[in-house]
Amino acid sequence: MDKTTTGWICGLTGVVIFSGSLPATRVAVMDFDPLFLTVARAVIAGLLGLCLLLAFREKRPTRSDIASLAIVALGCVVGFPLLTALALKHVTSAHSIVFIGLLPLATAVFGVVRGGERPRPAFWIFSALGSALVSGYALAQGVSASPAGDLLMLAAVLVCGLGYAEGAVLSRRLGGWQVICWALVMSLPVTIALCVATMPHTIDGIGRPAWLGLAYVSLFSMLIGFIFWYRGLAQGGIAAVGQLQFLQPFFGFALAAALLKESVSWSMLIVTIAVVGCVAGARKFAR
């Protein structure tokens, strides 16, 4: 099997793993405080990441890499998990998945800013259309649908897109999986302190589904998914394998419907398909 094929398989595996993040978070926040869930998953993944770095004797980042690692940490380790956990207190995971359709576009936009690329005008047309579709869908649900949840999801997409783009640039020097591991390790002093401060007084009343959700987002969403994802990007090409992320909303819908018994309306599916089409078009004209 050639390297390109292996990259596509790894990339698809990463997307499938990430697709379970929102349903797992939705289950976990039913019993766990969103802030505790965010820092607990980061602590668990950070300790495992530290073990990986020590086991493979990876070289330490240079001083010039610290700022970029901090952005990755703020975007992917803390920002996206915390904002989505807070949002899922107000909206269902199926509703939130519509916004995840904008994540590849946000990553591309920040990639343009960070990489200094000059995309063709068609890129911005697709970008504006995709944003209009998502905003229109959110507004069509009415104020009672929870504007707070929608705003939190939009903020989560923005910070995660920034974290992905910054990590992609940094991975050229440090390597793919090493970036997320170093970001997690660098966050440990803060995440451990917050984890202790927000720890539940008792575990009575915390059901098994919440524990399973915490385990999933800690092991798979925060660490294992990134290992497959960055390996896929490195072997198959960022532009090519990155398009697999367009499939994430569909995998997420299937998981939300199958595991959480959440309803997925036709309008939600249609909007997601349209958004994915816009993102695909924008990605095509990004260079």
Instruction: Look at residue 143 and tell me whether its pLDDT is greater than 60.
Output: no
Instruction: Look at residue 83 and tell me whether its pLDDT is greater than 90.
Output: yes
Name the more confident of 110 and 34.
34
Q: Classify burial at 259, counting beta carbons within 10 Å of its beta carbon; exposed 0-12, middle 13-18, buried 19 or more.
A: middle
Q: Which two tokens stand for residue 59?
A: 């070289």
CA separation for the pair 62, 278 (Å, rounded): 38
Instruction: Look at residue 112 and tell me whether its pLDDT is greater than 70.
Output: yes
Q: What is the mean pLDDT of the chain?
A: 85
pLDDT band, residue 240 (cuts 50/70/90): low
CA separation for the pair 223, 153 (Å, rounded): 21
* pLDDT tens-digit readout, 4-46: 788 889 988 998 999 888 889 989 999 999 999 999 999 999 9
Instruction: Look at residue 269 and tell me whether its pLDDT is greater than 70.
Output: yes
Judge whether 216 and 19 are in contact, CB under 8 Å. Answer: no
Q: Which two tokens stand for residue 24?
A: 């797992």
Which residues form the domain of 269?
A: 3-284
Say what the pTM is.
Answer: 0.84
- 242, 252, 246, 84: which is closest to 159 by C-alpha? 84
* pLDDT tens-digit readout, 247-262: 887 787 777 778 777 7
CA separation for the pair 159, 164 (Å, rounded): 9
Structure letter (DSSP) for residue 82: H
* pLDDT tens-digit readout, 175-230: 888 999 999 999 999 999 999 999 999 888 899 999 999 999 999 999 999 888 87
Q: What is the pLDDT of residue 198?
A: 95
CA separation for the pair 235, 2 (Å, rounded): 10
Q: What is the pLDDT of residue 145?
A: 66
Percent of the chain with pLDDT over 90: 39
Judge whether 248 and 21 are in contact, CB under 8 Å. Answer: no
Domain count, the chain: 1
